[in-house]
C-alpha cells in the first residue's frame, strides 16, 4: 500500500513539475527559461537614446484561460484506492467551468464546478453525495489534468486526501 501511494505521489510530482521543463526544452532547446536583455542604443548622433522616448510597453494583463471543454478519462486515487474516473467538462464561461464526473466503484454520475486560469491552475468542487464533496486543486498540462483532492463533509472519510490524473483523448 505504501508503494502504491509513493508511486502515485511521484507520478503527480513529475506531471506537475516536469511538464514545464519539457515545454522549456522543446521551445528553447534547454531546460532553463528564455531571457531577453534590452540595452539602450545610440541614435544617429552617437548620443544615448533619450529615456523620454519610451517605447510602447506591454500591458500587465493576465493571460486568458485555456479552453478545457471535453471528455477527460483517467484514475482517481482516494486514500489508497484507485477508481477509473471520467470528467466531462460541458460548460466554460471565462475562468468558470462545470460539468459531470464519475469514478466507477466510488461515485456514480455527479456534478462539479471549478475554475481554470491563464496560468493553467485549476480548482474543483466535486459533489459525491449529500453534503459530501471532494475539494481539489491542480494543473493543466498538455491534454492532462493532475490534481490533489480532499474529502469535505464526508462521514467516515472527512479529510481523506487523494489525487487524480485525467487525459483528454
What is the value of pTM for the model shown?
A: 0.64
Please tell me the number of Cα atoms within 13 Å of 76 on its side-chain side: 24
Are the CB atoms for 141 and 120 separated by under 8 Å?
A: yes
Predicted local distance difference test score (pLDDT) of residue 80: 80
Residue 25 has a pLDDT of: 47
Q: What DSSP character marks residue 153?
A: S
Q: Nearest-CA neighbor of 65 among 24, 111, 97, 37?
A: 97
pLDDT at 86: 97
* CB-based contacts of 133, cutoff 8 Å, min separation 6: 125, 126, 127, 152, 153, 154
Between CA 164 and CA 169 the distance in angstroms is 16
CB 118 within 8 A of CB 65: yes
Strand partners, 48: 42
CB atoms within 10 A of CB 73: 13
Per-residue pLDDT in tens (0 to 9) along the chain, 169 residues: 666 665 666 566 555 555 555 555 445 554 444 444 555 555 555 555 555 555 555 666 889 999 999 999 999 998 788 999 999 999 999 999 999 999 999 999 999 999 999 999 999 999 999 899 999 999 999 999 999 999 988 887 777 899 999 999 7
pLDDT at 61: 81
Q: Which residue ranges form the domains of the chain, and what is each CATH number?
A: 70-168 (2.40.128.120)
Q: What is the phi/psi pair of residue 62, to 5°?
A: -80, 145
Residue with cell string 491542480: 138
Amino acid at each position: 500500500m505504501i508503494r502504491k501511494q509513493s508511486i502515485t505521489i511521484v507520478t503527480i510530482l513529475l506531471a506537475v513539475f516536469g511538464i514545464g521543463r519539457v515545454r522549456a526544452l522543446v521551445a528553447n532547446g534547454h531546460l532553463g527559461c528564455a531571457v531577453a536583455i534590452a540595452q539602450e542604443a545610440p541614435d544617429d548622433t552617437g548620443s544615448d537614446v533619450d529615456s523620454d522616448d519610451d517605447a510602447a510597453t506591454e500591458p500587465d494583463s493576465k493571460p486568458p484561460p485555456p479552453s478545457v471543454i471535453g471528455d477527460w478519462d483517467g484514475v482517481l486515487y482516494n486514500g489508497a484506492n484507485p477508481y477509473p474516473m471520467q470528467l466531462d467538462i460541458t460548460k466554460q464561461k471565462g475562468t468558470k467551468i462545470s460539468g459531470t464526473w464519475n469514478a466507477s466503484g466510488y461515485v456514480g454520475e455527479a456534478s462539479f464546478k471549478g475554475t481554470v486560469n491563464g496560468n493553467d491552475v485549476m480548482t474543483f468542487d466535486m459533489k459525491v453525495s449529500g453534503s459530501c464533496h471532494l475539494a481539489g486543486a491542480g494543473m493543466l498540462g498538455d491534454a492532462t489534468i493532475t490534481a490533489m483532492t480532499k474529502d469535505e463533509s464526508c462521514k467516515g472519510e472527512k479529510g481523506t486526501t487523494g489525487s487524480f490524473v485525467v487525459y483528454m483523448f
